[in-house]
Structure 1
Amino acid sequence: DGTKQIIDSNTQDWKSFDNGPLIDNDFFNGVEYDARKEASVEGWNTVGFDDSSWDGVAQFTGKVGRLEANSGAIAYVEENKIHPIAKDSFKYSEVIESKENGGTSEYATGEVVPIAVDVNQPIEIKKGETLILNIGQNIAGYNTITVSGPAGTQVDVRQAEMLNDGNLNPTDKQGGSCGPKGTLYWAGLTDGGQFRETLNDKPFADRYYLDGEGQETFTPNFTWHGYQYVEITATEDITLYDLYAEDITSVGEERGFIETSNADVNKLFENTKWSQKANYITLPTDCPNRAERLGWTGDAQIFAPAALYHYDVTAFLSIYNDMMDDFAKRSDNAYGTFVPTTPGKGFFGGTIETGWSDAGVIIPWNLYQTTGDTSYITKYYDQMDAYMDAYFAKGYKCALGDWVGFEKTDNSYMNAVYKVYCSQLMSKMAAAVGNQAMVEKYNGLEEQAREYAKTYLDTIGTHKGMDTQTGIMWALRAGIYNSEEQKQQLYDRLQENIANEDQSFRPTSSENTISIGFLGLNVVLSAITEVGGAESAYDLLLQDQYPSWLNQVKLGSTSMWEQWDGYSAEYSFGSSGMNSFNHYSYGIVSEWLYKYMAGISADESNPGYKSIVLQPTMDTGTQYNSEERINYVNGSYDSAYGEIESNWTSDEGNLSTYEAVVPANTTATLYLPVSEDAVAEFENIDGVTYKGMEEHNGLMTAKFNLEAGGYNFAITDGKLTVSMADGYVAMADRGIINKVIAYAEKELADPEFNNVIPSVQESFKAALENAKEVVANAASTEEDIYSAWTTLLNEIHKLGFVAGDKDSLSLVIQAADEINADLDRYVEAGKAEFTTALDAAKTVYNNGDAMQAEIDEAENNLLNAMLNLRFKADKSILEDVVAEAIGKDANAYTAESYAVLTAAINNANAVLADENATQDEVDTAVANVQTAIDGLVAVDETTPSTAPNTDPDHPVEQGTQTGQESTTTKATAAKTGDFAPIAGIAVLAAAGAALAISRKKK
């Protein structure tokens, strides 16, 4: 009836009940649920429920946050159930103590005696037994269990990321296993057990009390855990019928894909994605396992480029940036080390911290590069500028520095290089929005910070200050050197450090390994590559000895770890004080896989992937470990314009083949690492233009401009060739229309244009705008282009020119010459008039004494003759339909119905013979023949004759005769009413070149 009622929260009408089945729903530690109490709240959300025993409510009087929509960071459960795998799934009740503790186990912390289980069948768990299940993937999520047992039985479900290996860490007393081999490793989650007493002896566990009624299913809905292994115990004998895990995340659609010839690199790539999913839950957290889950800004800015390649997280990071922006406005312009938090609370509340609070500048830059949307700059720039002022005012100091690195890089130096980096980004963003004053300001601040950083150059060779892998990599990236010779010295020193020959730099690390911490992660491979060290970058990527990315894969990792030494075969677990196995920061390596290895990136000067940079980088390294070298890569990124593809194969580090897909309405610059000899005889094709040799990203390359399309490059007998990929065709030629547009824009800019009558000005501008849109649209047909430029040329003609001006006539003649070169594509009618008009126009153009009236008349005549030309009609479908009609047996149908068909065939043959037939006439003939076929009336169930037609009353012209009856309509035959598709096919056939870009799915 239109009435409205507001149901608000108040202390009079609302009630609460705290003795229901949900006992505890701790966000970090899990859910405790008593199924026996479900009856006490059954029907609580229905009308008529008796709430007389329920308690009242009190109004909260503390501070509350601002309620806002959170559309870009909603956490959701992925639609896949993860079931346990057989590997490392077992149960046990017996533990063998170590020899040191009087037992017989060789392991320092003892070991369990495993009992095999079948994870695909119900599992009996007796009182005193512990079941361990491996779900095969480290996730952020929760388990659903289905069990049966006596009423009141307490079932504890506990989660962890790793199992203890039974060893101690000889170099760290806080490291090593926290229990017997085969038990859950939880020391890294609870800092060695200090939380165990304060959390009622159930850290990171879900507890369920059975009601004893058959099979019961329990899902903890108010928490999540970070884990791969599940431990289940019960106070009485129970049967586990099913367990499956579900992961939760806030990431959007998957955008990027990488596949290589190296299985371990592929696994590393997948691990980086899993860690992103597990840590992008409403905000970018550090880890989903321990009682922390904070939005650390350092982790977020380091990983942002990879995150934006992997998934659509622009809205997600935008909301996070809003949090940082809001926090800085309330915290003396400091973005802080993690958000959200309370300004001024403790060390991390409101502090400016190098590499962490810089996220307020770095993340907007990455969002702008990915989307091309300058609002990410304009929205945050004032606050970024205020932050940078506060940043420089603080001086060159910071507390965290290159966090968890194996070498100590001076914090003041790291502060300086990050100021160089952030000043560069501030200058570039200012330039993007036309703020020249800010460009100049930050160019100055960049140089100021660089000069300070250069004061550390004299520490090279002393293992102090900047003489570390992170320090030198940043020097190469940020230009912290005084000459090219000094740059080379830095690179040589870096190679010496990485080599670590005889462990001269790092006694506990293998040779040819990295030692960087958090602030070296985002430059390690890219900085080396850009100074010509692609071979070294690949060597580091493929290293599988400790410490390295693939060493973790080799040890069975399914996600990224917080520390290089989180676990190693030599030293067991690292320090328990901070040891997560699901920390995405180290996954920034995947940015290098996309940008350098596969070679897909946005053009920094024209971001958003409207203009694309493609530069595949071959693996030219040599084998020094067990890893096979990479000889093929398939990479793709689904941009806002469509999917970009970059696939290559190589032979001993040399390019063999390369495939590229450039989406519609974009262009690409391709840098192929081939020799100058390979392109000495290169032949361009439509869409591919060779521009010469150029050094780019540390490699000498052949440079090409690519239009939208798909292309296959190959080296054959030492020479580079290119062809259109299957399913792609060249775009319609835009040569004439571009010339006409250029001339029209020149006329538009002429002050005399203002003297043209308003109606002509309006039609001229409309024609010019339409021509530009046609050129920009990759799907424009040749007909579209022809119509657009002839219309615009006609509008140019209307403008009028000064006496004796032949510029307009010259433009019309150029266009006519291109038509004349392909004149056989037009019908005969009008050809003679066109060639006559063209000859006459050229005569007038070459006549130095020609008057304006003669010029105008010649131009008018030629233009009209051009406009009167028509493309030849496509008669292929008509030919098919006539052939089908001729195949009909006259004896099988009534004379009256067959006479109609004969008439239609005769008319169709006349159209086929008419050189000047229009497409409409052809389409009408098709329809008439098809209608006559459909209208044939069969003679009373007589078997059609196969004899030729001899009926003198139904002659068929042009010597045609009837043949055997066909009972199957041809696939190509037109149907009645199919006029529009027929016309479209005819236009496409006449155009002769590709129009809209389409690709066959592989």
Structure 2
Amino acid sequence: MNLQASIRALTPASRDWSAQMIAPLADEGQGQAASFLATDFVLQDVPADADLFISALGLYRCFINGQRVGNDLLTPGFTNYDKRLAYQTYNVAPILHPGKNRIEIWLADGWYRSQLMWGKNPIFNCWGDRIATIAEIVGLSGTLIATDANWSSGKLPVQKSGIYFGEIYDAREPALVPTSGSEVLAFDKELLLAQETTPVKEMAPLQPIDRWIDDEGRNVFDFGQNVAGYVRYTVRGETGAVVRTEYSEVLGPGRFFDNRNYRSAVSHNIYTLNGDGEETYAPHFTFHGFRYARLTTTGEAKILSVVSVPISSVPDIKGGFECANPQVNRLVQNTIWSQRGNFVEIPTDCPQRDERLGWTGDAQVFASTACWLADCRTFLRKYLRDVMADQRADGAISHVSPDPTRLHPEHFPGFAGSTGWGDAIVIIPWVLYTHYADKDALRECLEAMVRWVDFVWSISDGPIVRPPAKWGERGFTFGDWLQPTGDSVKPRPTISDDCAATLYHFISTDLLARIAGVVGEDGLKARMEGRADEIRKAFAFEFIAPSGRLAHNDQTSYALAFLHDLIPPQHVETARFHFRKIVVDADYKIGTGFIGTPALLPALTKLGMDDVAEKVFLQEDVPGWLYQVKQGATTIWERWDAMAPDGSIYQPDMNSYNHYSYGAVCQWLFESVAGIAPDPEQPGFARVLVAPAPIASLSPVSAFHDTGHGQIEAAWVVDNGRVTYRLSLPDGCTGLFRPTHRHIDPVLNGAAVTGEVPLASGAHVLTFNLPPASGG
């Protein structure tokens, strides 16, 4: 069975469709007015049960007898449309009635054919140039109505829409007037699959915290929180008056409305009033990334109310961390909001500019944190299927999935194969296994994992990966993307591409060996263990000096090498000394980028350098987590230096203020500071590894996480150097406490501890003294 057949066999099954995929003949193509398809049908009696099965090429909204079906957004979702197309199911019996009924399906460009990608070579009509729908209502007695060539079509009040563009809506013609018919398209119904994850939903609206009128008389609103979503407002005015909504994430000095970082994403909404009393509007087929909105009215119109409406596929919080430091608490909230805003159908890099793509590197570094903060099991499983559908013939994993460049490589050649990014196919399934005991995810992705690690080996035909420098060449790597260099006069050292690539070559190969053991593939396990050992030895020979110093002497090299046990025993003390020194010499400022940052604090904690980890985490200068918070950030930034101290934007051509990657530090807060981690030996939180590494200045600390067994709660307080740690484990969840050097004179539930101790479900109290100087 080939890979695509394997994916299809393991994804939610399709069904037998009597409906046909039909396109509106009223449609005039990409960038033009949206269209609808409609028909009437007669029912003698209302069925006791009736389900609507529906999907589309493009985006759809469905109405039956004037009532919207469901409240899901951006349906049918974002997939590799040439290989996978989701359909939704809704119970519609309550809105049917005896006699004549009417069904209308609104269609718009969406991801399917509006602009994707950036720069001088945007891609339009990526997956096709005809919007269309397939739908049928099925009752207990059979099909009641289905799409076919007899449906009529016409134009919608949506004059233009696009994911990056926004939406133009003219309310002066609210009635849907059929002007044309429909056409049956050739379509493979085997591509249809039941929706795999939770749909995008609106969250509770946010009221503005401030409002002012700028020098040109435009209303500017500050909603206090950067989100993915849109503005909804109510307006009263004359027929033909116009309201234009523009969006931005930040304000420049002098409250300058600055959205230059959106690049070619117009990202606006234009609404023309019909003049009939109060009118409420929000866009139907797009979303924006923003904290601020500027509303410009032309003609006689008065804005009566305005709210920000966040949207997300994962709106519900499943984990939390709080401490005595309000800046740290805000950092956690920023991470939650970045996850919400970027988990819209797929894990995107950002929700605002002409990108909003499923970057694999961002997803893999953040996956563990994502699962701490929300229930991401089905969301990430769906994304992994997109990743596998985009995998190249030679095993390379796309930089983004769904990948627009796979079908349009002329301007984006070789958009696949970067280490640190493609490793998502190995790392994310492992995260799903550890957090949810999802062994099926390992089995489903196993073949793709093998093809990926074999591809990485093939880049240089050996254990050391030597990537080409030119973007688009086979094996190009992003390395430690956006790794800071410090002072331009005397820059700090950074990791080389070959070292970064080889580190991840080892990480995925070693992890694949472990995965093979879990799923019972002993032959593969032995092969990958042998290969991982070869990479380990080659790494030591190539990148570790005889003295024990790493070749590039940078924070990322040491963090990743220590975290993944790539430092030979005889070099551990020397490498540890240099690791500490480079961090101290940098005044505890972060020297890591996308792949190094998630490893930095865990590596310092693993080595017992808690004092260094504390100073790195809590320092408030750039580059640093709390610098963002101090600057008023409400989500995580793409760049450490995204904003200058005076509030001005740095490099607006590549600068997002809602990029979750650096929020991966929250994994460390849960697993090290709060001391609770899933045990891969008993996954899905059947057993929790308990090993708190307190930072006294954060006391008191509390954390919780909702698991399949119930809620885990952990909290500690420091009093005169002695820690009191309280832990509550739900039924079905046990723990294992392993004392370390930082747990001096530990007493668990009233009894002295001399070694590791199993913990039953229920409440536990652990006390211990901290070392006089944490780390050293």
User: For the residues of structure 2 that align with 1:162 and 1:139, how far apart are their CA atoms?
Assistant: 12
Q: Say which of 156, 178, 183 aligns to 2:256.
A: 183
Where in structure 2 are the equivalents of 1:540-579 lying within 5 Å? 540-569=616-645, 572-579=648-655
Encode CA deviations 1:955-981: one digit per residue, 9 max, x unaligned.
xxxxxxxxxxxxxxxxxxxxxxxxxxx
Return the offset for 1:147: 1.4
User: Which residue of structure 1 aligns with residue 371 of structure 2?
Assistant: 308
Q: Say which of 565, 569, 580 aligns to 1:495.
A: 580
CA contact (8 A) 2:548 2:574 kept: no
The unaligned stretches of length 5 or more in structure 2 are 1-43, 45-139, 468-475, 486-493, 772-776
Where in structure 2 are the equivalents of 1:230-245 lying within 5 Å? 230-245=293-308
User: For the residues of structure 2 that align with 1:31 and 1:4, how far apart are their CA atoms?
Assistant: 38
CA contact (8 A) 1:600 1:637 kept: no
Change (3 A) 1:655 1:462: closer
CA contact (8 A) 2:239 2:274 kept: yes
Q: Say which of 637, 662, 665 aligns to 1:586.
A: 662
User: Which residue of structure 2 aligns with residue 334 of structure 1?
Assistant: 396
Q: CA RMSD in A?
A: 2.7
User: For the residues of structure 2 that align with 1:233 and 1:691, how far apart are their CA atoms?
Assistant: 67
Return the offset for 1:676: 8.0
User: For the residues of structure 2 that align with 1:222 and 1:668, how far apart are their CA atoms?
Assistant: 47
What is the SS of the residue equivalent to 1:572? coil
Change (3 A) 1:459 1:229: farther
Change (3 A) 1:716 1:157: closer
User: Which residue of structure 1 aligns with residue 762 of structure 2?
Assistant: 709
Q: Say which of 238, 247, 255 aligns to 1:150.
A: 238
Return the offset for 1:317: 0.4
Letter in 1 for 2:399: T
Where in structure 2 are the equivalents of 1:767-786 lying within 5 Å? none
User: Which residue of structure 2 aligns with residue 92 of structure 1?
Assistant: 214
Letter in 1 for 2:424: A
* Greater radius of gyration (CA): 1
User: Which residue of structure 2 aligns with residue 67 of structure 1?
Assistant: 192
User: Which residue of structure 1 aligns with residue 154 of structure 2?
Assistant: 17
Letter in 1 for 2:283: P
Where in structure 2 are the equivalents of 1:593-612 lying within 5 Å? 593-612=669-688
User: For the residues of structure 1 that align with 2:575 and 2:766, how far apart are their CA atoms?
Assistant: 37
Instruction: Give 1 or 2: higher strand fraction.
Output: 2
Q: Please report the TM-score for the alignment, with normalisation by the length of structure 1.
A: 0.58
What is the SS of the residue equivalent to 1:522? helix
Q: Is 1:441 matched up with 2:527?
A: yes
User: Which residue of structure 2 aligns with residue 404 of structure 1?
Assistant: 482
Change (3 A) 1:452 1:65: farther
Change (3 A) 1:684 1:573: closer
Change (3 A) 1:676 1:134: closer
User: Which residue of structure 2 aligns with residue 32 of structure 1?
Assistant: 168
CA contact (8 A) 1:35 1:208 kept: yes
Where in structure 2 are the equivalents of 1:125-140 lying within 5 Å? 128-140=216-228
CA contact (8 A) 2:550 2:558 kept: no
What is the SS of the residue equivalent to 1:340? coil
Q: Say which of 337, 350, 361 aligns to 2:426.
A: 361
User: Which residue of structure 1 aligns with residue 734 of structure 2?
Assistant: 667
Change (3 A) 1:282 1:65: farther
User: For the residues of structure 1 that align with 2:324 and 2:588, how far apart are their CA atoms?
Assistant: 22
User: For the residues of structure 2 that align with 1:461 and 1:139, how far apart are their CA atoms?
Assistant: 49
User: Which residue of structure 1 aligns with residue 5 of structure 2?
Assistant: none
Change (3 A) 1:182 1:226: same
Letter in 2 for 1:278: G
Change (3 A) 1:677 1:537: closer
By relative contact order (CA 8 Å, sep 6+), the higher-ranking structure is 2
Encode CA deviations 1:740-793: one digit per residue, 9 max, x unaligned.
xxxxxxxxxxxxxxxxxxxxxxxxxxxxxxxxxxxxxxxxxxxxxxxxxxxxxx
User: Which residue of structure 1 aligns with residue 288 of structure 2?
Assistant: 225
User: Which residue of structure 2 aligns with residue 978 of structure 1?
Assistant: none
User: For the residues of structure 1 that align with 2:185 and 2:605, how far apart are their CA atoms?
Assistant: 57
Q: Say which of 330, 334, 338 aligns to 1:271.
A: 334
What is the SS of the residue equivalent to 1:573? coil
User: For the residues of structure 1 that align with 2:594 and 2:726, how far apart are their CA atoms?
Assistant: 35
Return the offset for 1:4: 4.8
Return the offset for 1:185: 1.2
Change (3 A) 1:713 1:461: closer
Letter in 2 for 1:661: S
Letter in 2 for 1:24: K
Change (3 A) 1:611 1:538: same
What is the SS of the residue equivalent to 1:536? helix
Letter in 1 for 2:759: L
Where in structure 2 are the equivalents of 1:427-466 lying within 5 Å? 427-457=513-543, 466=552
Letter in 1 for 2:457: F
User: For the residues of structure 2 that align with 1:716 and 1:584, how far apart are their CA atoms?
Assistant: 35
User: Which residue of structure 1 aligns with residue 74 of structure 2?
Assistant: none
User: Which residue of structure 1 aligns with residue 689 of structure 2?
Assistant: 613
Q: Please report the TM-score for the alignment, with normalisation by the length of structure 2.
A: 0.74
User: Which residue of structure 1 aligns with residue 205 of structure 2?
Assistant: 81
CA contact (8 A) 1:252 1:313 kept: no
User: For the residues of structure 2 that align with 1:677 and 1:152, how far apart are their CA atoms?
Assistant: 75
Where in structure 2 are the equivalents of 1:711-790 lying within 5 Å? 711-714=764-767
Letter in 1 for 2:765: N
Return the offset for 1:306: 0.2
User: For the residues of structure 2 that align with 1:204 and 1:230, how far apart are their CA atoms?
Assistant: 11
User: Which residue of structure 2 aligns with residue 292 of structure 1?
Assistant: 355
The percentage of aligned residue pairs carrying the same residue is 28
User: For the residues of structure 2 that align with 1:566 and 1:370, how far apart are their CA atoms?
Assistant: 33
Return the offset for 1:240: 1.5
Return the offset for 1:350: 5.9
Letter in 1 for 2:601: L
Letter in 2 for 1:522: P
Return the offset for 1:641: 1.3
User: Which residue of structure 2 aligns with residue 649 of structure 1?
Assistant: 717
User: Which residue of structure 2 aligns with residue 477 of structure 1?
Assistant: 563
What is the SS of the residue equivalent to 1:692? coil
User: For the residues of structure 2 that align with 1:415 and 1:280, how far apart are their CA atoms?
Assistant: 27
Letter in 2 for 1:16: S
User: For the residues of structure 2 that align with 1:400 and 1:716, how far apart are their CA atoms?
Assistant: 44
What is the number of residues matched between the two proteins? 609
Change (3 A) 1:308 1:75: same
User: Which residue of structure 2 aligns with residue 885 of structure 1?
Assistant: none
User: Which residue of structure 2 aligns with residue 878 of structure 1?
Assistant: none
Change (3 A) 1:452 1:133: same
Return the offset for 1:189: 0.9
User: For the residues of structure 1 that align with 2:686 and 2:355, how far apart are their CA atoms?
Assistant: 40
User: Which residue of structure 2 aligns with residue 781 of structure 1?
Assistant: none
Return the offset for 1:351: 2.2
Letter in 2 for 1:92: D
CA contact (8 A) 1:287 1:293 kept: yes
Letter in 1 for 2:754: G
Return the offset for 1:691: 5.1
Letter in 2 for 1:23: Q
Q: Is 1:56 matched up with 2:181?
A: yes
CA contact (8 A) 2:744 2:769 kept: no
Return the offset for 1:434: 2.9
Return the offset for 1:68: 1.6
Change (3 A) 1:455 1:445: same
User: For the residues of structure 2 that align with 1:322 and 1:707, how far apart are their CA atoms?
Assistant: 37
Instruction: Give 1 or 2: higher helix fraction.
Output: 1
Return the offset for 1:59: 4.7
What is the SS of the residue equivalent to 1:514? coil
What is the SS of the residue equivalent to 1:567? coil
Where in structure 2 are the equivalents of 1:722-871 lying within 5 Å? none
Encode CA deviations 1:509-545: one digit per residue, 9 max, x unaligned.
xx32002110102201101110111221111111111
